Amino acid sequence: MEQKIEFICEWRTGKYTITELCRVFKIARPTAYKIIARFENEGYEGYDQKAQQSRLNHFVKEYNHIRPQEALDMKTPADMHDFSSRPFPEKIPNFDYDANYKVLKVTQNGSIRWKSYYWVYVIAALMGKYVGIQEMGNGIWRVFYRNTLLGFFDEKYLRNKEQATRLETNLV
């Protein structure tokens, strides 16, 4: 957004040709002409976020409710859409792991702390969530998020606390 406004400011000085501006701003000439046309029609307000959101809302309304689509036998997407009757909860319910699982919280760096000293990297997407750890024997542990197996780790090969051990997806 700031780059478009900067482009317009440079264009309005008259010091540069469109070709020179396109080279500096690394845009195509048709793009430059579109930016200039929008500015001439709407001024700086055309680059305002509220104005852009308003134009997008208008387009979505026209696309979904007014313009018929050939692929839909000249009906609008709103005519063809059925809303789901499936309930969608506002909040995902908590998950209770079985008693034979150790439950650990994934930290901000995507790891779990193992035995107060070691780190096992799980995944950053689960930051703040709880995972279940189940022992398979011989120091090998399976890591689950809810009912999904994420991987394995072997506690014999954990490194020091400065380095995280990543989960393995197979034991071979």
> What's the Cα-to-Cα distance from 3 to each of 22, 39, 56, 104, rounded to whole Å?
12, 13, 21, 46
pLDDT level of residue 75 (50, 70, 90 thresholds): very high
Q: What is the mean predicted confidence (pLDDT) over 51-68?
A: 86
The pLDDT of residue 15: 87
Q: What is the mean predicted confidence (pLDDT) over 9-22?
A: 87
The pLDDT of residue 86: 87
Closest by CA to 39, choosing from 26, 28, 48, is 48
> Above 90 in pLDDT, residue 56?
no
State pTM to two decimals.
0.48
Structure confidence by residue, pLDDT tens digits, 122-172: 888 999 999 999 999 888 999 999 999 999 988 877 764 455 566 766 654
Distance CA 137, CA 56 (A): 57
Distance CA 73, CA 75 (A): 6
Distance CA 89, CA 155 (A): 38
Closest by CA to 134, choosing from 149, 119, 118, is 149
